[in-house]
Amino acid sequence: MSTVVLLIVTGLGLGALYFLIASGLSLIFGLMDVLNFAHGAFLALGAYGTWWAANFLPGAGPDGAGFLLALVFGVAAGTLAATLVELCVIRPLYGRHREQILATVGLSLATPALLQAVWGADPLTFPKPDLVRGTVEVLGANIPRDRLLLILAAVALFTALWLFNSRTRYGLIVRAGVQDRAMVTALGIDVRKSFTLVFAIGGAAAALAGALGGLYYGVVTPTQGMSLLIFAFIVVVIGGTTSLTGCAIASVTVALVQQFANYYTVAGLGDIAVVIVLALVLLTRQGGLAAKKSAERVA
């Protein structure tokens, strides 16, 4: 029983990490119709920014309020990078999907190379605050505390994104702008500012995933963003490319399948099991788990 509880809770922690990454992808694609392959770059910048701040930024540190400051610095770095990418790269390419893909793929390849040139290819030990060290007993299973932190962060992010999309003026403007940008502009509303805000929020979510992913894995590497981005895309496809709720359900499903398959079969078969789930969903529910809600973007 304790083994099952451990697999479930740690699977939820991994699912929370996937959701932190995939939610930004879903938000940007669902509200802006932009398929952003540079999302992993924002994750990597968030991870390295947090690591650098915890080690070198005055006032920051590996524990307590110092780590919180380092975390804020890392998220700010990813958010700034996302804003600059939207302003300089994506904005001139709205409506030109082929060029968007080529540009963001180029950024996704250039960022790890840049990080490797600055800090090397070897994994860097990520600081872990005392608060998330050790384990907590849940129904007889010893659960790592950092998994619980990931779950709390994912719940908070889901709530914040849902409120932004359905309860704020900017969320409504962006949705209307995607449907008929010319009409919204004719009403005197600058859709471009709202698009930039959405892209920045997506970058912040990815950067937060990078920082908390450092706690999960204990290290950061230049290619960490690219490897996690693969599973994020799988989650978005399974959940439905325009549904935040579907993204959350798919994140948990993928992580639990991965955890149980890796434990009860040969290590590594979890990834194959995830691909099988992806294939089954594509064959049986075109549009993903939220296919029936395709008219309601990012709901």
Q: Can you give the pLDDT at residue 177?
A: 65
Tell me which of 17-21, 166-170, 246-250 is least confident. Answer: 166-170
Q: Find the mean pLDDT for residues 144-164.
A: 90
Sign of CA dihedral 267, 271, 274, 278: negative
Q: In the predicted model, is pLDDT for residue 7 greater than 50?
A: yes
Phi, psi of 58 (to 5 degrees): -60, 130
Phi, psi of 33 (to 5 degrees): 60, 40
Q: Are 259 and 7 in contact (CB under 8 A)?
A: yes
Phi, psi of 138 (to 5 degrees): -130, 110
- Where are the alpha helices (H) located in 219-268, listed in sequence order? 224-239, 244-264
The Cα–Cα gap between 190 and 173 comes to 9
- Both structure tokens of 298: 């990012």
| Greatest extent of the chain over all pairs of C-alpha atoms, in Å | 61
CB atoms inside a 10 Å sphere around CB 199: 27
β-strand 135-138 against 141-144: which pairing, if any? antiparallel
pLDDT tens for 77-105 read 999 999 999 999 988 887 788 888 899 99
